[in-house]
Amino acid sequence: MSVLGAVVLALAGLALFALGAVLGHAGARRQQENPAGPGTPVERATFHTLHTASLAAPPLRAGLTPDTARKAARRLRPLLGTVALALTDEESVLAWDGVGDHHRAEAEARLAHAVRTGRPQTFTLSCANDTCPVRWGVVAPLGADGRAAGALAAFADQESAGVVRAAEEVARWVSVQLELAELDRARSSVIEAEVRALRAQISPHFVYNSLAVIASFVRTDPERARELLLEFADFTRYSFRRGGDFTTLAEELRSIEQYLELARARFGRRLEVTLRIAPEVLPVTLPFLCLQPLVENALRHGLEEAVDRGRITIVAEDEGTEARVVIEDNGVGMDPQRLREILRGAGGPSAGIGLSNVDMRLRQVYGDGHGLVIETGVGAGTKITVRVPKFRPGIRPAT
Amino acid sequence: MNQTYGIAGVSAVVLATVLVGALGLRVSRTTSDFYVASRSVPPRLNACAVSGEYLSAASFLGVAGLVLAQGADMLWFPIGYTAGFLVLLVFVAAPLRRSGAYTLPDFAEARLESRAVRRIAGVLVVGIGWLYLLPQLRGAGLTLRLLTGAPGWFGGLVVAAVVTVAVAAGGMRSITFVQAFQYWLKLTALLVPAVFLLLAWRADRAPTPVWDERPVFQRATQVRLDHPLTLTLDEPVRVTAASGTVDGRPRDGGPLTLGPGTHRVGAGTTLRFPPGTPVPLPDDEGGRAAPSSWARPLSAGREQHGLYATYGLILATFLGTMGLPHVVVRFYTNPDGRAARRTTVVVLGLLGAFYLLIPLYGVLGRLYAPDLLLTGDTDAAVLVLPERLVGGTGGHLLGALVAGGACAAFLSTVSGLTLSVAGVLAQDVLPALGIRHFRLATLPAIAVPTAAGAVVSDLPVADAVGLAFAVSASSFCPLLVLGIWWRGLTPPGAVAGLLLGGGSALAAVTVTIAGGARSGWLHTLLAWPAVWSVPVGFAAMVLVSLATRTRIPANAAATMARLHLPETLTGRTAPAGSPPGGRP
């Protein structure tokens, strides 16, 4: 029975620990929300207001939806000090914080006018319930980029010029946040467009070289020429395809195979390729055409600029929750300083736009911890490591 | 058991595993076999790997031991272990693969779009992994003790060290080939000795298995008792030689007759029984064991509430398989949902073949190794049988083969579990470690169950596995089944179900392992929690989800479509301008 006692003690200890953690967390949070820090009462009030506003900002930066409106309204109502506050879009109430929820419809009826005129509008409300403190309200329109986005409605038990003024100011502040949200959206769509523009960038040299080498086989070895042409067709179909920003490692390797087949037609025995692929990581999803440019880079530095044999090694390994792909060549390497410039996008138009493009896309999708890791030196070959998480929410291949 | 042969067998298995692991990668030197090198794992190979990873020490040693000790009831273990994959096949396999999730927390996040659910799922995965590792390490200790005479905790420690070094050194490179190899090794290690055992049994004029109350020593048998125990006899038992202490009096090897009544036998006593003697059975702690109905289900002794316990076992194993972390990650290796389904079908066949052999060992063990009932080492039945029946060098070789198979059993499961627990630890539970410190997370992943195993020592291997299944069945089964088949599941609902179902099962299991309640209904309820905790998990998820309808994830419909439609279909209809997910 002493064992049972020990278990009960341990469980009680755990429960106590959890309770302490919860209380501490809540306390810290309250402390944060009501900072009783140094300064005069006016300064403290200012800090408090700024802090409350900063808490309301993150949800609004994601745009105006029922979910974000609910979170923001909870933070905004203390700023105004009213009994109720509502955030609406152009037609309906998205979130109602505080009492008097049954006035929703009445508030919605007043929306259209305020949104159309772009001016705040006050109104009184009648209520059958004597104890209901919602007797009067003000609707202040919200706008982003000069367009109406919705309105902020504040409610009190009596008419108050202060509340009108405060509602107007808060509505202006919310409008700024919504404009920033709009800006965020615009920025991410620009980056997306950039990624899409960059991704289909197979080198024009490659197209030219491939066609030239196929042409050279047409008379001497028509069968080989036909095979190469089919490889070329497959490769371009994969590279130029539309839709889907992601692919699987297996698909990407297949396109690299076609690429290398064409390169081998050009370089013959000078090119030696070694593959070591763990089959477990083949289904891993990764950005479309993110390995092929690295192989192209290895080929260029490993072979085109050197006279003797070029060796390229491609290794894909299982690393628990991630896959690690390493592409290595024994070529002329690169000056690390110059490489840094290329990755910063300042390397000039000629070289390595593939590398910086891949690096940027990987960081964009997986975060800064997942950029390219490049080990190189002049005359020392190049080793590029890519680490791809096996799962990221929302990322899936398009076949 | 012959030490030299046994150690040779185990060493050969470890060596072969390392070799397959190191050389199994497909290396191609030219571009022409590029295609071969980049071909995904076919369902059949993956199924072997799943089976290899799944068949643990509990299956290899534990089930036969339970059948030997407790009879036909225990056949529900192998049935449940296999049928779990049937449930997985029907409800989960393909949609889970299509979700793109690698671990269970991944699935939770993909489906519910909530970090909180992800974190709770992560904690539960670690808990289940640890619970499952506990009996594996114990099985390792048992095997090595029989082989070398080392104390029980030592074997667990050795295996923990081997696996930690292998994982930390970046070993297990071609884990699929290693695990597939382990499956065939385990099957061989059971099948070949089984053939010889049957031949030996026939040569022994095929004695009928003892179905009735108590087994009889077929041959003169010497039993050494490591622990003191109390025997209650109904009829006198003749002992040809006894040395040690019996009933408080020292014995020096002379014959002895134990009359009806209670006898206390001291630790370190050796008793020699003549052929034909009924095996005296030790008393259980909770009172007299009633082994009167070995062949008749639902009447066996250990549990007072046999029917309830059986349903608990069935529910836990049928529904728990889908929540085992090391099984789920293997499905990621499949290229698509269809392949995942085919893999599961093959797994059903492979497991069925393996588990057909297990009861044979249990029955033969009851015939030829009934002394294990006296010493309580029933988990050792599979290991000792070949030498008992075959004898000579042949027996030694077969014994070495079985020992190698047992070694493969706990090595494969321990390494698979450690890898998946370490992955979840690094990613979800201890994110402060940083994603690069995956290998660092291996240490807590295996150190905790090793330490717990040293403290908790008297739990049968298969029972402890049953507890891991119960926790998994009451937390991840509701999450997966409702997540895949009901679009109304909300993050708060999932959290409530995971915490109430999984949490209550985990609490019950902890109390059981710590030896909380020893008998009565309370013990039965806590030892077989699945009967009540699975409904609790489902009910909590459904009710809380219904109460929080507004919190249904924004993309629930799209996610559901992706889970259920074949990949080729969803791939083509994907909008061209879909944003790189999750990043507005």
From residue B547, alpha-carbon distances to B110, B116, B483, B487, B553 in Å are 22, 18, 16, 14, 14
Question: Rounded CA gap, A371 and A361, in Å?
Answer: 8
From residue A384, alpha-carbon distances to A294, A324, B169 in Å are 8, 10, 21
A188–B579 CB contact, under 8 Å:
yes
A140: its two tokens = 């202040």
User: What local confidence, expressed as pLDDT, does residue B169 receive?
Assistant: 65
Do residues A139 and A253 share a domain?
no
Into how many domains does chain A fold?
A: 2
Which is higher by pLDDT, B289 or B83?
B83
Chain A residues touching B554 at Cβ < 8 A:
67
Residues of chain A below pLDDT 50: 1
For chain A positions 227-246, those within 8 Å of chain B (CB to CB) are 242-246
Q: Is A183 in the B-facing interface, judged by CB distances under 8 Å?
A: no
Q: Is A58 in the B-facing interface, judged by CB distances under 8 Å?
A: no
- Dump pLDDT digits (tens) for B19-72: 777 766 656 555 556 666 667 788 999 999 999 999 988 888 888 888 888 777
Do residues A132 and A251 share a domain?
no
B441: its two tokens = 């997370």
User: What local confidence, expressed as pLDDT, does residue B535 receive?
Assistant: 95
Interface test with A, best of B38, B113, B330, B510 (most A CBs within 10 A): B38
Question: Rounded CA gap, A216 and A232, in Å?
Answer: 15
Q: What are phi and psi of A357, to 5 degrees?
A: -65, -45
Average pLDDT over every residue of B152-170 = 78
Do residues A278 and A327 share a domain?
yes
For chain A positions 378-397, those within 8 Å of chain B (CB to CB) are 389-397
Which is higher by pLDDT, B564 or A23?
B564
Give which of A211, A212, A208, A278 is closest to A250, Cα–Cα: A278
User: What local confidence, expressed as pLDDT, does residue B580 receive?
Assistant: 35
User: What local confidence, expressed as pLDDT, does residue B572 receive?
Assistant: 41
Question: Rounded CA gap, B168 and B443, in Å?
Answer: 9
Q: Is A21 in the B-facing interface, judged by CB distances under 8 Å?
A: no
User: What local confidence, expressed as pLDDT, does residue B496 receive?
Assistant: 95
Question: Rounded CA gap, A127 and B254, in Å?
Answer: 102
Report the DSSP beta bridge partners of residue B249: B246
Do residues A150 and A268 share a domain?
no
Q: What are phi and psi of B240, to 5 degrees?
A: -75, -30
On whether residue A199 sits in a domain, the answer given is no
Chain B residues touching A260 at Cβ < 8 A:
31, 34
Do residues A255 and A171 share a domain?
no
Strand stretches in chain A, DSSP E = 84-88, 93-98, 121-124, 136-144, 147-156, 246-248, 271-277, 285-287, 310-319, 322-329, 373-376, 382-389
Residues with Cβ within 8 Å of B400's Cβ and at least 6 positions away in sequence, in order, are B2, B5, B6, B8, B9, B12
In Å, how far is B11's CA from the nearest CA of chain A? 26
User: What local confidence, expressed as pLDDT, does residue B85 receive?
Assistant: 94
Is the predicted pLDDT of residue B236 greater than 90, yes or no? no
On whether residue A26 sits in a domain, the answer given is no
Between B110, B423, B516, which is nearest A7 by CB? Answer: B516
Is the predicted pLDDT of residue B241 greater than 60, yes or no? yes
A398: its two tokens = 């398009």
In Å, how far is A381's CA from the nearest CA of chain B? 19
Domain borders along chain B are 3-20+41-203+294-569, 221-273
B31–A261 CB contact, under 8 Å:
yes
Looking up residue A370, the CATH number of its domain turns out to be 3.30.565.10
Is the predicted pLDDT of residue B141 greater than 70, yes or no? yes
Contact criterion met (CB below 8 Å) for B474 and B536: yes
Do residues A132 and A255 share a domain?
no
A274–B579 CB contact, under 8 Å:
no
User: Which H or E run includes B261?
Assistant: strand B261-265
Do residues A243 and A119 share a domain?
no
In three-state secondary structure terms, A155 is strand
A192–B579 CB contact, under 8 Å:
yes
Chain B residues touching A257 at Cβ < 8 A:
31, 34-35, 38
Q: CA quadruple A232, A235, A239, A242: dihedral positive or negative?
A: positive
Q: Is A274 in the B-facing interface, judged by CB distances under 8 Å?
A: yes
Do residues A125 and A239 share a domain?
no
In three-state secondary structure terms, A385 is strand
Angle at A40 between CA A38 and CA A46, to 5 degrees: 90
On whether residue A9 sits in a domain, the answer given is no
Contact criterion met (CB below 8 Å) for B239 and B390: no
- Dump pLDDT digits (tens) for B336-349: 899 999 999 999 99
pLDDT band at B578 (very low <50, low <70, confident <90, very high): very low
Average pLDDT, chain B: 81
Give which of B434, B444, B430 is closest to B164, Cα–Cα: B444
A277–B423 CB contact, under 8 Å:
no
Question: Rounded CA gap, B548 and B492, in Å?
Answer: 7
Give which of B306, B280, B307, B263 is closest to B216, Cα–Cα: B280
Chain A residues touching B419 at Cβ < 8 A:
320
B332–A317 CB contact, under 8 Å:
no
B457: its two tokens = 């020592």
On whether residue A6 sits in a domain, the answer given is no
User: Which H or E run includes B284?
Assistant: none
Instruction: Tell me which DSSP letter residue B396 carries.
Output: H
Residues with Cβ within 8 Å of A296's Cβ and at least 6 positions away in sequence, in order, are A203, A206, A259, A354
CA-CA-CA-CA dihedral for B60, B63, B66, B68, to nearest 10: -70
Do residues A225 and A363 share a domain?
yes
B581–A398 CB contact, under 8 Å:
no
A365–B583 CB contact, under 8 Å:
yes
Average pLDDT over every residue of B407-412 = 86
B571–A398 CB contact, under 8 Å:
yes
- Dump pLDDT digits (tens) for B349-369: 999 999 999 989 988 888 888
Contact criterion met (CB below 8 Å) for B17 and B408: yes
User: What local confidence, expressed as pLDDT, does residue A394 receive?
Assistant: 76
pTM, 2 dp: 0.78
Architecture of domain B3-20+41-203+294-569: Up-down Bundle (1.20)
In Å, how far is B481's CA from the nearest CA of chain A? 20
Between B102, B571, B584, which is nearest A399 by CB? Answer: B571
The one-letter code for the residue type at A274 is: T
The one-letter code for the residue type at B581 is: G
Which of A155-169, B298-312, B406-420, B480-494 is the most confident on average? B480-494
Report the DSSP beta bridge partners of residue B262: B232
Chain B residues touching A394 at Cβ < 8 A:
580-583
B583–A195 CB contact, under 8 Å:
no
- Domain of A274 in residue numbering reads as 221-389
**How many contacts (CB atoms, under 8 Å) link A and B?**
162
Average pLDDT over every residue of B433-438 = 60
Do residues A131 and A247 share a domain?
no
Give which of B232, B307, B297 is closest to B262, Cα–Cα: B232
Question: Rounded CA gap, A225 and A231, in Å?
Answer: 10
Q: Is A260 in the B-facing interface, judged by CB distances under 8 Å?
A: yes
B563: its two tokens = 């889970």
On whether residue A170 sits in a domain, the answer given is yes
Do residues A373 and A299 share a domain?
yes
Look up tokens 């040395």; give the residue. Answer: B243
Angle at B83 between CA B82 and CA B86, to 5 degrees: 110
| Other CB atoms within 10 Å distance of the CB of residue B333 | 27
Report the DSSP beta bridge partners of residue B569: none
Contact criterion met (CB below 8 Å) for B124 and B476: yes
Which is higher by pLDDT, A231 or B274?
A231
Do residues A257 and A347 share a domain?
yes
A395–B581 CB contact, under 8 Å:
yes
From residue A94, alpha-carbon distances to A68, A85, A99, A333, B32 in Å are 9, 11, 15, 58, 61
Contact criterion met (CB below 8 Å) for A257 and B35: yes
Instruction: Tell me which DSSP letter residue A86 carries.
Output: E
